[in-house]
Structure 1
Amino acid sequence: MSSHSFSAHASEEDIRNDSILIYVNGKLVPKEEAMVSVYDSGFMLGDGIWEGLRVYNGQIAFLEDHLDRLYESAKVLDIPLDMPRADLVKALYGTLEANNMVDDAHLRLMVSRGKKRKPFQDPKLTITKPTIVIIAEHSKPSQEVVDKGMSLFTVHVVRGQPNSQDPKLNSHSKLNCITALIQAQKAGADEALMLDPHGFVSTCNSTNFFIIRKGAVWTSSGKYCMNGITRQKVIDVCHANNIPVYEKDFSLFEVYGADEAFTTGTFGGPVPVINIDGRVIGDGVPGEGVMKIRQLYKQLASNLK
């Protein structure tokens, strides 16, 4: 295992985040005053959904894709998110403007079912509209993580069947992922690699997972993982640049013998992985394939208007 402690979400420290304004139900309030009720569904039950958003050159990358997923998730969970999409976009950009953020910024958009009158599960106990919170931070991904690469550990916690808790839902309920991460960190790794119920490689605890074998890019079938927007954009840039890419079932056998490996997520984009379960991947350093894909992805994300 690696001696360093990294994460796909590792960022540079920025003291400007001490004085940010946070959007809470239509109001921009100082960080110290940004609060929700202890009766809020998100706090009490993990009953909510969220999106992580990244800003490049003053634009929120792939915003329509993220909003599509948010509103669809709200429908799946029967959360009455009746805020028009245009108003939500205005709130997101208004939060960025209030904090003078145009680049190297990350937003977390959270929607819970709302405040309840009793501390129980029943959605009928909800007495307010959905709670909407937007946290925008100055957040530059750590270059050291990209330069050195991460280590992963395969955990016993699996990504389950969609009739248990559908892994495509970006819900506030992340205990299975947190449990997976704890096990990986206890084993000395940076993040967790999770299998699907059939023993095939699925995803990481907070990011999607890819390998490169003989110039071809592989990722899981997508049946048991968050269908990440960065994941899809990486698949798209591979297609657009004649890089073979496959969504398929594969096991740890193919992972340990891969030439390269990397994760994908909104915050860090493609991030190299150089060690999995104590096995050195490829040459043990970030490879040319993932670095090329990082460049292609950043070009796509940065050129959006």
Structure 2
Amino acid sequence: MLVYLNGNFLSESEAKVPVSDRGFLLGDGLFETMRIYNGHVFKLNEHLRRLQRGCGLLEITIPEGVPGLKIRIYQLIQMNGLKDDGYIRVTVTRGAGGRGLDIRGCDTPTLLITSGEYRPYPDDLYRRGVEVVFSERENLRTNRDCDLKSTNFLNNILARLQSGKKDAFEVVMFNPHGYLSEGTITNIFFITPGTLCTPAPECGILRGITRETVLDICKKRNIPVREGLFRRHDLGKAEEVFITNSLMGVMPVSSIDGRTLRVGEVTGTIITAYRELIDEERRASGNSREDRPHKSETGCCPFRD
């Protein structure tokens, strides 16, 4: 597979960043991971808008800008022949710098785009659900960080390592005030009678793109939603639970902290609606070239579904 690194398409073995890159040394960078469905990047604009907001907070300029980034993404998809299921990851770091935390002199950000084939989770998991456990390790994200998908995942890794249940599908964390926040790689939703509940951004969550998509689905289908502050005992009242991220989509939970749950009607409805939205967006992309580069922009034919 080829990658795109700082203006060049290279093989993975040729791609190198400086040893002084702050993304490598300090986790001083952001990333976005997206699913490719039949050559189309799902929710590309939403992911890049979040990346742009995050880079603005970090005072990092996205090399080539968002329009140029779109062109490079679809060039890479074409060059790697990803016509079916795949993933694409965009990583932006502050680039090379001197020792310490001072950002002065860090004038050239690093841009890395990688992609590959993606093997979806088995359909059986979406029918029977997965196991989720609670972490005793607190989530350290604050409410000001909801758009920062940082390259530093150390706290999340420790939450998984220290969960005591290494075979669990996901580990869910609470914030320092004891409120439910998020999983190590997912957002969490649960259904109480008549209402879909999910932690509010002020709980210290990543405002996930799939999370926002689920909220839009609920609004269009008149499913009542409550974004709020929830404690551990609130999940004890849940009739259904599911987790979300951009790679897995909407995944039902069959067990949380040892409590067995059913994969219920609301979860099934949202899974179906999410898949329909993927198909709708993919079909629409086949009729519009708005997000695809033209031949004059890429030097090659645009990728076609």
Gaps of 5+ in 2: 286-305
Deviates more, 1:287-296 or 1:259-268: 287-296
Could you say what secondary structure the match of 1:132 adopts?
Answer: strand
TM value normalised by structure 1: 0.86
Number of the residue aligned with 1:246: 226
Aligned counterparts of 1:171 and 1:198: Cα–Cα separation in 2: 22
- Which whole-Å CA distance do the structure 2 matches of 1:123 and 1:216 have between them? 46
Q: 2:259 aligns to what?
A: 279
- The answer for the alignment partner of 1:175 in structure 2 is 154
Matched letter for residue 97 of structure 1: Q
1:129-168 matches, within 5 Å, as 129-143=108-122, 144-160=124-140, 162=142, 166-168=145-147
Q: Deviations over 1:54-111 (max 9, x none)?
A: 1223221111111111111111011122522211100000010001113311111000
> Counterpart of 1:214?
193
Deviation per CA, 1:187-216: give whole Å up to 9, x if none.
Answer: 652221111232121111111000112242
Decide whether the 8 Å contact of 1:215 with 1:289 is kept in 2: no
Please state how far the C-alpha of 1:154 moved relative to its aligned partner.
Answer: 1.2
Select which of 266, 279, 294 maps to 2:246. 266
Task: Give the equivalent residue in structure 2 for 1:7.
Answer: none
Identity %: 34
The counterpart of 1:302, out of the listed 279, 290, 305, is 279
1:216-239 C-alpha deviation (Å, 9 max, x unpaired): 211111211001111010011011
Question: What is the CA-CA distance between 1:136 and the residue it aligns to?
Answer: 0.8
Q: Which runs of 5+ in 1 are unaligned?
A: 1-19
Q: Aligned in 2, Cα 1:41/1:193: closer, same or farther, shift over 3 Å?
A: same
Distance across 1 between alignment mates of 2:178 and 2:111: 37
Structure 2 residue matching 1:87: 3-state secondary structure? helix
Following TM superposition, by how much is the alpha carbon of 1:130 offset from its aligned partner in structure 2, in angstroms? 0.9
Q: 1: CA distance between counterparts of 2:118 and 2:82? A: 10
Q: Deviations over 1:245-275 (max 9, x none)?
A: 2212222222123111110100011111111
Q: Secondary structure at the match of 2:238?
A: coil
Q: Which amino acid aligns with 1:154?
A: F
Question: Judging changes above 3 Å, is the alpha-carbon distance between structure 1 residues 162 and 90 closer, same or farther for their aligned structure 2 residues?
Answer: same
Q: 1 CA distance for matches of 2:94 and 2:212?
A: 28
Q: 1:167 to 1:177 in 2, by over 3 A?
A: farther
Partner of 1:115: 96
Instruction: Check 1:33–1:287 CA distance in 2 against 1; reply closer, same or farther (3 A cut).
Output: farther
CA RMSD, aligned part only?
A: 1.9
Note closer, same or farther for the CA distance 1:187–1:31 as it changes in structure 2 (3 Å cut): closer
